[in-house]
Amino acid sequence: MLIFYPIILISAVVLFYILGKRNGTEREVIKTVTQYTGQPISNYNDETEEQYYLRCHNFISDCLTKKEVRYHSSNDYKSFVVTFEDRDGSTYALNFEAYYNGGNSYIMFYTKILERVPDNKLVETSELINRLNNALILATLQLDYEHRVIESILIYPNGGQSLNEDYFHFYLTSLVASRPTKLAFSKVIEEDAEPALVTIDYIAS
């Protein structure tokens, strides 16, 4: 009799399972799904304008100090100026400006590529800007028609968010990478070169 006991036990378990399936007694598995709202978590919702400028000032100061870069900062904590030497031996400035606008606050990275664009070269200069922006990884070049200045500008949006050192250095190096376009603009303005050919030479160099 003991020999048949395991067989009877296994048969009972199988029968119980089959009957349970028919009667719908399976356990219901409850799945938890995390809902994502698509909105970034804000760490500085209650930050005032003064607190934002002070935070940006300390952040930019720390980033530049770590790279051993000398800088000048404004007394209102809103702006920084860093001076470097260009390839042709001339000096140029990089500007960092913090702007407070609640959840849309940002830091602007800015440098002048070339000043005093002649009136008779505005069309060619504008064409070259469009072509170079299409060739660059980031479209940073702009023409200030009022002051006849070619600029390179990048915006780092950070409203309500922690400031990221890697992002800062990415924007900084991207701004510096736009400096060699000065030679391309000089060819169009001073040597009457065609913007399309200048762009090809710039990409190939």
Write down the mean pLDDT value for the chain: 83
pLDDT of residue 47: 87
pTM score: 0.74
Residue whose structure tokens are 């160099």: 205
CATH 3.30.1460.70 applies to domain 49-204? yes
pLDDT of residue 4: 45
Is the predicted pLDDT of residue 181 greater than 50, yes or no?
Answer: yes
pLDDT of residue 25: 47
pLDDT in tens, 7-49: 544 554 445 545 554 555 444 444 444 444 455 555 777 889 9
Q: Which amino acid is at 184?
A: A
DSSP assignment of the chain equals -TTTHHHHHHHHHHHHHHHHHHTT-PPPPPPP-----SPPPPS-TT--HHHHHHHHHHHHHHHHHHTT---EE-TTSSEEEEEEE-TTS-EEEEEEEEE--GGG-EEEEEEEEE----GGGHHHHHHHHHHHHHHSSS--EEEETTTTEEEEEEEEE-TTS---HHHHHHHHHHHHHTTTHHHHHHHHHHS---HHHHHHHHHH-
* Ranges 31-45, 47-61, 80-94, most confident: 47-61
151 bridge partner residues: 112, 142
pLDDT of residue 99: 96
Task: Over range 70-82, report the average pLDDT.
Answer: 95
Would you list the domain boundaries of the chain? Answer: 49-204
